[in-house]
A and B are shown apart, each in its own frame.
Chain A
Amino acid sequence: GENVEQHPSTLSVQEGDSAVIKCTYSDSASNYFPWYKQELGKRPQLIIDIRSNVGEKKDQRIAVTLNKTAKHFSLHITETQPEDSAVYFCAAREGAGSYQLTFGKGTKLSVIP
């Protein structure tokens, strides 16, 4: 089955700086890679996703890049704000069979005002 590794587990940045979270996956058949943001005590919410036929996707201050050859994808947050503080999870979906979503262990991002 799929295995997703996520780094770092914690990340502190100054307000206004950029934050980068990286994930690797093991199953070359995976073709959908979402990123979820989870605030304390709340449900994970999708913030951006990318499909395997695309190398990069941007949505305002958030961008995701995908390197299929290296089986690696990253989340980039620019001009960070205190409200970006949360736990971020990457995930990969199998391209066949169960279409199961496998999550990384999460990155706790703290944006220091």
Chain B
Amino acid sequence: DSGVTQTPKHLITATGQRVTLRCSPRSGDLSVYWYQQSLDQGLQFLIQYYNGEERAKGNILERFSAQQFPDLHSELNLSSLELGDSALYFCASSVSGTGKVNTEAFFGQGTRLTVV
């Protein structure tokens, strides 16, 4: 167990719908990263939050958004879903931020999203 909790584990929804994926980082970790992994694909970086603020953006679609709350949990919102959004969505957390750089990132178990 990495200490990073993602819910739900599985999600099946129809095209055009909106879903919210939730991530609770490890205790003490300030950074949360979201990654998308499609079938046989690598880990595509979506977005990073550090202590409540957006720190970096990757290949995140405009239909997707995220936030990190004061208790440091994060949510990834996916709207107007398309078939191609079906993927495994991972959240990772680390301490990293100003002053603590070289620390391990721990991954959650992922949320498998299926859009039908």
Contact = CB atoms under 8 A, between A and B. Distances in A.
A89 B108 contact: no
B55 A105 contact: no
Interface in B66-90: 90
Given A43-B2, A43-B108, A43-B109, A100 B45 contact: yes
B28 interface: no
Contacts of A49: 102, 104
Contact of A100 (B55, B104, B108): B55
A45 B56 contact: no
A89 B102 CA distance: 17
Contacts of B45: 100-103
Interface residues of B, number: 27
Interface string B43-67: 1010010100001101000000000
B56 A103 contact: no
Contact of B90 (A34, A43, A46, A105): A43
Nearest to B33: A101
Interface residues of A, number: 24
Contacts of B56: 97-98, 100
A49 B33 CA distance: 18
Interface string B87-100: 00010101011000
Contacts of B48: 98, 100
B110 interface: yes
Contacts of B33: 100-101
Interface in A91-109: 93, 95, 97-106
Give the 8 A-B CB pairs with smallest separation, nearest first. Answer: A98-B56, A105-B42, A43-B107, A32-B102, A103-B43, A99-B96, A98-B55, A100-B56
Interface of B: 2, 31, 33, 35, 41-43, 45, 48, 50, 55-56, 58, 90, 92, 94, 96-97, 101-102, 104-110
Interface of A: 31-32, 34, 36, 42-46, 49, 51, 89, 93, 95, 97-106
9 contacts: A34-B105, A42-B109, A43-B2, A49-B102, A89-B42, A98-B48, A99-B50, A100-B55, A103-B35
